[in-house]
Chains A and B, each alone.
Chain A
């Protein structure tokens, strides 16, 4: 078994650091940390789907788009409280996720990947089509903008609440069912787990998380929602974040969120990774390397190091997708 910091120490520890951070960081760095918080929520949600339930999605940027536009439009038309819009985005995306998951999860493996990819492609086109309500390519501007510290607080408060919620969901019966679906659909069915119900539920939950992340994302970009922000690249980044995060560890998800949230914000003055193309090269290389070297994502890093140190070439536990993927 893996030895690690007990949750009683690590979770309050991380929370403590997060509470102190805005007081010591500059305004810009606080904003970056807030950005990481936004992606923390999204990666956490996607991790429930890919990591725990073993279903792939290349389209969760679409749910971020839906959540983001919910916030922007509600704020523009009704001056709704921004916090309330996050809740609404969460709820709407949960329902949309369930509705999409219902048919899509009849598809398995590669077909599901393609269907979610279709979602990632299609949803950002909708504002262009219904430009009267959704602002077209010009986007939607919410009248309310917030300071960096407010955004930071909102992002990490939502993160904390949703992290707790995820823990509550995953520790019990539902979480067990999710893992059963991932490890072997056949065994899950044989044990009385309704595969369809749990797959759809996982899809809905992860969609809801990404919806909340999308709402925060729009708030963090000065209340501005635009189709280009939610392109396919965003969906790919989320998937990469979830993969880098590995499975079910706070540290992994933090690392995955930092990876996705910080890399695009590195200043242009840094050599190589400062430029866009250099960043792409490093980004791509890192993703490939992490997958090659760390089967369990960054969450598996300590275990991997230990096993290397012991000279054992035993692999740490990989993120498996058996049963659902191959035939």
Chain B
């Protein structure tokens, strides 16, 4: 019981710190236009990180595997959206078609290459995802490589003016679309029978199977959902790029890793909060600390994550894992 209490105190402390951080951001934003702009940009960026981080968490929860190909999968689906638009679809038609394709792609990949190895060992599965990383890179390079391409941005480059603070349309759309995606996934897990079955399959596969849940099917759907969330992240990252490039999701994936680790790999909410925290921190650092060069951004983000992991080995929101030794 004592132990449980200290864990609770820790959770409360983290919640208080996060709340205090949010309030501090709000107060500073009210005081300074530049700060407010940076914060809003950071939140939008952070939500994109959070979306990809949630994709990682979905897969991690179910199979204890980190999908290193998640970012490349998102990049691949963004190229598919590009192709669909080239074929004459409007942006939003292509957007939803891409989500459907991404879902299918994720499911098929899980069935074809992940399922055969996932019972063998975590290392084997991780290596398969690393193989997929390289494979997808090569395929995209093969099909679309060679020339500069870019998606038409549906959001334009104009800004809203909120009490003197310029807020780019892009940020509002990024945040809105990602939030809609997250809400959809949350609702699926919270309110549908399918979601319940998926949670059961992830948490207690053996018991779920005994209760009649088709665990393998649930895992495949989980991969599909993860690919879908990744596609949302990819499509929402793309407008902030100058042109499409095979590597454009790699830094996003790294920050998503950081976000997922920060939140605790087991916690969907933690992934999103972690993403926002990292996004805001990043834009504020870029805006206010000129010593942080672009070279130092990534290592610094990771130093922070390492520090957090050393204090709380299961992330900020992770459950303490009980191990019988």
The answer to whether A277 touches B128 (Cβ under 8 A) is no
How many contacting A-B pairs (Cβ < 8 A)? 155
Chain A 92-122 residues near chain B, CB threshold 8 A: 103-104, 106-107, 109-111, 113-115, 117-118, 121-122
The answer to whether A319 touches B121 (Cβ under 8 A) is yes
Mask for A312-327, Cβ within 8 A of B = 1, else 0?
A: 0000001111100111
Query: Contacts A113-B66, A321-B123 known; A277 to B145 CB distance under 8 Å?
Result: yes
CA distance A76 to B68 in the complex (A): 38
The answer to whether A122 touches B298 (Cβ under 8 A) is yes
Closest chain B CB from A202 CB (angstroms): 14
The answer to whether A186 touches B325 (Cβ under 8 A) is yes
Selected interface stretch from B150-158, B225-233, B278-286, B299-307: B299-307
Closest chain A CB from B2 CB (angstroms): 22
Q: Does B26 contact A (CB under 8 A)?
A: no
Closest chain A CB from B260 CB (angstroms): 8
Closest chain B CB from A67 CB (angstroms): 19
Q: Does A285 contact B (CB under 8 A)?
A: yes
Mask for B287-302, Cβ within 8 A of A = 1, else 0?
A: 0000001011011001
Interchain CB contact (< 8 A) of A278 among B121, B142, B310: B142
CA distance A291 to B313 in the complex (A): 30
Interface size class of A (residues with CB under 8 A): 35 or more
The answer to whether A284 touches B133 (Cβ under 8 A) is yes
Interchain CB contact (< 8 A) of A291 among B131, B134, B321: B131
Contacts of B310 in A (CB 8 A): 103, 106
Closest chain A CB from B225 CB (angstroms): 19
Contacts of B261 in A (CB 8 A): 111, 114
The answer to whether A240 touches B303 (Cβ under 8 A) is no
Contacts of B134 in A (CB 8 A): 236, 280, 283-284, 287
Query: Contacts A128-B295, A129-B293, A284-B133 known; A319 to B325 CB distance under 8 Å?
Result: no
Chain A 177-196 residues near chain B, CB threshold 8 A: 185-186, 189-190
Q: Does B65 contact A (CB under 8 A)?
A: yes
The answer to whether A185 touches B325 (Cβ under 8 A) is yes
Q: Does B127 contact A (CB under 8 A)?
A: yes
The answer to whether A281 touches B122 (Cβ under 8 A) is no
- What is the predominant secondary structure among interface residues of chain A facing chain B? helix
The answer to whether B123 touches A115 (Cβ under 8 A) is no
Q: Does A37 contact B (CB under 8 A)?
A: no
Selected interface stretch from B6-14, B30-38, B112-120: B112-120
Contacts of A239 in B (CB 8 A): 127, 130
Closest chain A CB from B255 CB (angstroms): 11
Query: Contacts A115-B309, A285-B135 known; A109 to B64 CB distance under 8 Å?
Result: yes
The answer to whether B124 touches A118 (Cβ under 8 A) is no
**Closest residue to A272 on the B side, CB-wise?**
B142
Contacts of A111 in B (CB 8 A): 261, 265, 309, 313-314
Interchain CB contact (< 8 A) of B116 among A243, A276, A292: A292
Interchain CB contact (< 8 A) of A114 among B66, B116, B324: B66
Query: Contacts A125-B296, A280-B135, A288-B128 known; A106 to B306 CB distance under 8 Å?
Result: no
Other A-B pairs, 19, CB within 8 Å; known A56-B126, A236-B134, A287-B128 = A50-B123, A54-B123, A110-B122, A113-B126, A114-B261, A118-B299, A186-B324, A190-B325, A236-B133, A239-B127, A240-B130, A277-B142, A280-B138, A287-B134, A288-B132, A292-B117, A295-B120, A322-B121, A325-B123
Residues of B within 8 A of A (CB): 60, 64-66, 68, 113, 116-117, 120-124, 126-128, 130-139, 141-142, 145, 254, 257-258, 261, 265, 293, 295-296, 298-299, 302-303, 305-306, 309-310, 313-314, 321, 323-325
Q: List 8 A-B contacts (CB under 8 A).
A: A50-B123, A56-B123, A114-B261, A118-B305, A239-B127, A280-B137, A283-B138, A291-B131
Residues of A within 8 A of B (CB): 50, 54, 56, 58, 103-104, 106-107, 109-111, 113-115, 117-118, 121-122, 125-126, 128-129, 185-186, 189-190, 236, 239-240, 243, 276-288, 291-292, 295, 318-322, 325-327
